[in-house]
Amino acid sequence: MDVDNSSFLWAPSVPLLAIFLSITLPKTQFQRKPSSPSPHTHAPPRWYPHKDPILGLDVLFDIAQSVYNHKFLTFTADLINRFNGTITYLSLGRQAVYTIDPANVHAMLADRTRCQDFGLGPTRRKNWKPLFGSGIFNSDGAVWKHHRSTLRPVLSRAGPHEFEVFETHLQTLMRVVPADGSTVDLQRIFDALTLDVSTHLFLGTSTEVLPSLFGSPGTTDGDGNGNRNRNGAQGQEFAAAFNYAQRAVSGIDDFTLSGLCWKFLFGDSRLEQSLQTVHSFIDEAIEQASETFHADRADSADSPGHQLNGRGQVLLYKLLNEARSREDIKYDIINLLAAGKDSMTSFMGSIWYVLCQRPDVLDNVRAEISVLQGQPPTVEQLSKFSYLHMVLQEVLRLYPPVPANQRTAEADTFLPRGGGPDGKSAMLVPRGASVGYSVYAMHRLPEFFGPDADEFRPERWADVLLNPRPKAYMPFHAGPRTCLGQNLAMSLAKYSTVRLVQFYQSVENRNVEPWEEKLGLNCSSRHGVLVGLTASSQCVSS
């Protein structure tokens, strides 16, 4: 989830920061006149009725409370719905906007004439830099374009190589996870699985965190060239450091006043340590791969069509082949790990959160994939499972891994809605204003998804698929910055769902608490995904 210090999600740190910012804030955009005249008819924005009209601490306090109570997503959805989809409010005295109106979100992200007016904002670029550098996730303009054009061709669509990697790690899952009906947390298991798969696909060697979670040895054997997996303890250390660093740089790690005071006064030594662990882990992987890469090159100097000795499928080798600097490669890998890993954990966790509570849906999936007779699916077979596809679309609708996001106006600009007494006219958005939006709320709008929009009903996609996909549906973002890993994500989710349905004859729901959000860069289930698994006798290994 994308966070800026002028956005809703930074609200919890407001009480402390307000004291400092109210003294030091420069003249607010709220007071500044827009520099360019409007090409549109627009109306004054519809303001939140603040009790504190100077800093807007009233609404920030309510939001902070909703975050503490793990109800940020429903709280903001209800609030913005009451304002016809868009409100303008004060965030520490700065004008900010929050919207769930797809017309606004598309204007900001995808409209050619408008989207260049919005960027990630200076706060995100600055705060995220120690972990993400100026990688694709943390850059705008020419730098972003450069990353995007490099990564698009090397981030392959999922094919036989990727399926082989998925299968290897799913076999490990089946081997190590208890299937005797005892309760396990699938979300925690997927967290390890997605790291093992991502490091295998991107670096060529897997962290093997999943087997070590259950005290088992790993199964993959490095890249087959003496480059062993940096597995077990080292993988776990990397995973913990990476998780912490992501939460800390995005400012959502510690909402307690004491924690904030401590960090303000003494800095965050855990972050320093975590950054060092992450950077040296990736540096070491690049160093090893680079040696192998150059050895391969020397070996095949005489042979035209250098083949990287079969390692050409691994993203890191593709990047080395592009002759990019080590620094660039390091940040590309870190950005891709951040982009893909947690969103996949969240997605796969939600799929099983639903399936274990909806035996009817699970039975339908089981019936659809029965043609495989327990065999792993091929790329082609997987693409034909239309019910499975609808189930996954519906999971992404109700449990989007990135449920809220934010952009900053880089110039005085306009949004089509949010102005006038009914909020239906265009409105001015001054340079520097944060515009937050809730994908979670948009995905529940009855005007796009019907009166039963809150229900999990995969069949709705049978109708919707005949028509253009609703504008309000955007789990993978929209416009030029649409997710680059969408195909890989859908393939991994489908493949793993098929295999797990085949592996287990029953998946019993053991969740006691109702679903509650756990916000990070992505959103997952705060209480995990608890199930009891019973192994099937029919599953066939690849």
Binding site for ligand HEM (CB under 6 A): 2, 136-137, 148, 151, 155, 336, 339-340, 343-344, 347, 401-402, 405, 475-477, 481, 483-485, 488-489
Residue reference for tokens 């069509």: 305
Residue 3 three-state SS: coil
The least distance separating ligand HEM from the CB of residue 44, rounded to whole angstroms, comes to: 29
Q: How far apart are CA 94 and CA 140, in angstroms?
A: 23
Number of residues that make up the chain: 542
Shortest Cβ distance from residue 162 to ligand HEM (Å)?
10
Sign of the Cα torsion 105, 110, 115, 120 reads positive
Minimum separation from the CB atom of position 499 to ligand HEM (A): 17
Closest CB to ligand HEM among residues 374, 479: 479
**DSSP characters over 245-262:** HHHHHTT-S---HHHHHH
What's the rounded Cα separation, in Å, for the pair 424 and 294? 60
Q: State which residue, 66 or 496, has the beta carbon closest to ligand HEM.
A: 496
Question: CB under 8 Å to 381, separation ≥6 — which residues?
Answer: 371, 372
End-to-end alpha carbon distance in the chain: 36
Do residues 532 and 10 make contact, with C-beta atoms less than 8 angstroms apart? no
Go through 509-518 and write b for each residue having 16 or more CB atoms within 10 A of its CB, e for each that does not: bbbeeebebe
Shortest separation between residue 172's beta carbon and ligand HEM, angstroms: 19
User: Crossing angle for the helix pair 122-132 and 326-355, nearest 10 degrees?
Assistant: 100
Closest CA to 58 of 86, 90, 85, 31: 90
Nearest-Å Rg of the Cα atoms of the chain is 24
Q: In the complex, what is the shortest distance from the CB of residue 18 to ligand HEM, in angstroms, rounded to a whole number?
A: 26
Q: Report the greatest alpha carbon distance in the chain.
A: 76
> Residue 196 or 296: which CB sits closer to ligand HEM?
196
Closer to ligand HEM by CB, 341 or 460: give it.
Answer: 341
- 216 Ramachandran zone, left/alpha/beta (phi>0; psi -120 to 50): beta
Nearest-angstrom CA–CA distance, 403 and 394? 14
Query: Nearest-5° angle of CA 517, CA 102, CA 5?
Result: 55
CB atoms < 10 A from the CB of 166, how many? 23
Q: Nearest distance from residue 343's CB to ligand HEM, in Å?
A: 4
Q: Is residue 110 a contact partner of residue 118, using CB atoms and an 8 Å limit?
A: no
- Nearest CA to 394 out of 455, 328, 463, 316 is that of 455
Q: Report whether 400 contacts 475 (CB < 8 A).
A: yes
Which residue number places its CB atom closest to ligand HEM?
A: 485
Query: Would you say 141 or 267 has its CB closer to ligand HEM?
Result: 141
Distance, in Å, from the CA atom of 369 to the CA atom of 375, rounded to the nearest integer, reads: 10
Q: How far is the CB of 347 from ligand HEM (least distance, A)?
A: 4
Question: Measured between alpha carbons, how far is 275 from 291 in angstroms, rounded to an integer?
Answer: 24
Q: Which two tokens stand for residue 382?
A: 């997987």
* 326-355 and 269-299 helices, crossing angle to 10°: 110
Cβ closer to ligand HEM: 271 or 489? 489
Count Cα neighbours of 255 within 13 Å in the Cβ-side half-sphere.
Answer: 17
Least distance in angstroms from the C-beta of 249 to ligand HEM:
14
Q: Single out the residue of 356, 286, 278 nearest to residue 324, CA to CA.
A: 286
Tell me the closest approach of the beta carbon of residue 383 to ligand HEM, in angstroms: 17
Task: Closer to ligand HEM by CB, 271 or 478: give it.
Answer: 478
